[in-house]
């Protein structure tokens, strides 16, 4: 598509000028003819809303009650390409599932692009989407918040407490995610994980239970990745009609993504694993169940007020691991666990890695799986994972 006419002769404000804000500015220059374009990076109360016909908000800016003048890249993309789009959301696993689906479809010869939270901003692909293009769109809660249109095909993998510092309540967080289905139509399809509550939608719903999926032959760890793969298998076979053997071969060939149960190397007989993507307790528990011969795990980061009860129970029941707890959330956990000799508090990642080197025996592994956000200490989970690798000497 060459032109987006909705903004022609309109006064536009880009609110937020990070990666997506800069992408929006480029999109407006290439595909629109607005009367004016301004950029703003402050608070909503400082915007003179009456000066603008449209305000394009970046997803990282909290705003729970927009009016009709506000829109987003996700909204614009879906207005144009919702029939081409497979949207993937969920608290955990959406990046791996999106990348795996893109890999399978590409392996089967389909014209496919990977975009959204995992890839480039969606409007960077505005000119590239043809009638037969499949847009695999990893959709974060922030990108879905306030949209009024849903993709043709959706996958809602799971739901856990997350981003309460942004949304305030689990209900608001779920409501943002639920927009992936809220505006679907009768000929749309929605694949939903077993722990996701009922969703208001007109689409056909296909439930997938975590404990009943087959174990796929894969090069990445964990039953949770077989769970992700089953969403991919169902969508690729049932929606796109791809041969089952082609799908399974592509799944088996997939090498995974950085910072997701990634084996980063071995030093002095000790293996090191980077699971920096882990930002909730359940992800850390699943990591400990999945990676072989881990003896030491590094846990902790920004404390966003989520419940750690599940992880605390696990720590108390599994003394076979060394738990090195760090930063604010690690201190909160350390203060309430049963203070076994295998629970240690260290204030920083550097100190935690140094301690892990001392206490992890030859032939075993060290796992970074923080169960917490990186913010306040690192720019993002990628920077945290890269710092871990460097501290390990890899």
262-267/270-274 β-pairing: antiparallel
Residue 382: name the closest of 370, 390, 374 by CA.
374
Q: How far apart are alpha carbons 27 and 12 in whole angstroms?
A: 12
Q: Which domain holds residue 384?
A: 262-392
| Alpha carbon distance 83, 89 (integer Å) | 17
356 shares a domain with 225: no
Shared domain for 84 and 15, answered yes or no, is: no
Domain co-membership, 271 together with 309: yes
Please tell me whether residues 159 and 224 are part of one structural domain.
yes
Sheet holding 204-208, edge to edge: 112-116, 134-138, 85-89, 153-156, 189-193, 204-208
Q: What is the CATH number of the domain that holds 339?
A: 3.90.190.20
Asked which of 253, 271, 294 is the last residue of a domain, the reply is 253
Residue 69 in tokens: 């003048």
User: What CATH number is given to the structural domain containing 206?
Assistant: 3.40.1190.10
Q: How far is CA 27 from CA 75, 116, 172, in A?
A: 14, 15, 30
Q: Rounded to an integer, what distance in angstroms lies between the CA atom of residue 134 and that of residue 332?
A: 44
Q: In this structure, are 93 and 178 located in the same domain? A: yes
> Domain check: are 59 and 84 in the same one?
no
Sign for the CA dihedral angle at 205, 170, 195, 302 comes to: positive
Residue 57 and residue 121 in one domain? no
CA–CA gap between residue 367 and residue 289 (Å, rounded): 12
CA distance 371 to 47: 36
pLDDT at site 162:
81
Half-sphere exposure of 360 (CA within 13 A, CB side): 27
Q: Indicate the number of domains in the chain.
A: 3
pLDDT given at position 381: 95
CA 92 to each of CA 45, 97, 160, 222, 232: distance values in angstroms, whole numbers, following the listed order: 33, 10, 8, 13, 15
Q: Where a domain ends, among 231, 253, 275?
A: 253
Asked whether the beta carbons of 330 and 301 are under 8 A apart, the reply is yes
Q: Could you give the angle at the alpha carbon of 112 between the alpha carbons of 111 and 118, nearest 5°?
A: 165
> How many CA atoms lie within 13 Å of 289's alpha carbon, on the beta-carbon side?
12
Distance CA 115, CA 137 (A): 5
Enter the tokens of residue 284: 């850390």
DSSP letters for 105-127:
HHHTT--EEEEETSSB-GGGGTT
Q: Is the same domain home to 153 and 175?
A: yes
Q: What is the pLDDT of residue 191?
A: 98
CA angle 383, 367, 350 (to 5 degrees): 55
H-helix or E-strand containing 311? helix 309-317
Tokens 């240690």 sit at which residue? 344
Residue 65 has a pLDDT of 77
233 and 84 co-located in one domain: yes
For the record, the structure tokens of 155 come out as 């996958």
The answer on 90 and 13 residing in a single domain is no
Q: Which residues of the chain have pLDDT under 70?
A: none
* 8 A C-beta contact, residue 126 and residue 78: no
Are 284 and 225 within one domain? no
| Lookup result for tokens 């009456």 | 50
Last residue in a domain, options 71, 97, 126: 71
Q: Which of 69, 79, 117 is nearest to 97 (CA)?
A: 117
- The span from the CA of 288 to the CA of 284, in Å, is 6
């Amino acid at each position: 598509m060459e032109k987006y006419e909705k903004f022609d002769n309109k006064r536009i404000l880009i609110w937020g000028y990070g990666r997506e804000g800069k992408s929006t500015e480029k999109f407006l220059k290439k595909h629109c003819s607005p009367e004016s374009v301004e950029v703003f990076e402050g608070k909503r109360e400082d915007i003179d809303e009456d000066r603008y016909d449209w305000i394009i908000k970046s997803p990282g800016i909290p705003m729970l009650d927009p009016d009709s003048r506000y829109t987003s890249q996700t909204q614009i993309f879906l207005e144009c390409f919702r029939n081409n789009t497979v949207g993937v959301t969920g608290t955990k696993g959406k990046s791996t599932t999106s990348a795996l689906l893109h890999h399978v479809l590409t392996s089967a010869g389909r014209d496919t692009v990977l975009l959204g939270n995992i890839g480039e901003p969606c409007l960077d692909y505005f000119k590239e989407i043809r009638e037969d293009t499949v847009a695999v769109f990893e959709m974060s809660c922030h990108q879905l918040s306030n949209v009024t249109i849903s993709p043709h095909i959706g996958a809602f993998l799971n739901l856990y407490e997350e981003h309460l510092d942004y949304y305030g309540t689990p209900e608001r967080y779920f409501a943002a995610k639920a927009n992936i289905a809220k505006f679907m139509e009768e000929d749309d399809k929605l694949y939903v994980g077993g722990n996701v509550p009922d969703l208001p939608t007109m689409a056909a719903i296909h439930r997938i239970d975590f404990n009943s999926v087959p174990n796929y032959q894969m090069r990445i760890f964990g039953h949770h990745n077989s769970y992700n793969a089953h969403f991919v298998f169902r969508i690729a076979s049932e929606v796109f009609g791809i041969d089952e053997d082609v799908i399974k071969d592509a799944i088996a060939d997939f090498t995974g993504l950085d910072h997701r149960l990634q084996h980063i190397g071995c030093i002095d007989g000790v293996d090191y694993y980077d699971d920096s993507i882990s930002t909730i307790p359940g992800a850390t528990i699943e990591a400990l169940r999945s990676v072989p011969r881990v003896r030491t795990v590094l846990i902790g980061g920004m404390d966003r007020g989520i419940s750690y009860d599940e992880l605390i129970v696990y720590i108390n029941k599994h003394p076979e691991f060394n738990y090195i707890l760090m930063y604010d959330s690690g201190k909160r956990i350390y203060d309430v666990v049963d203070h076994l000799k295998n629970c240690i508090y260290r204030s920083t990642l550097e100190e935690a890695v140094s301690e892990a080197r001392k206490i992890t025996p030859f032939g075993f592994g060290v796992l970074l799986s923080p169960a917490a956000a990186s913010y306040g200490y690192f720019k993002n989970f990628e920077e945290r994972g890269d710092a871990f690798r460097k501290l390990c000497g890899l």
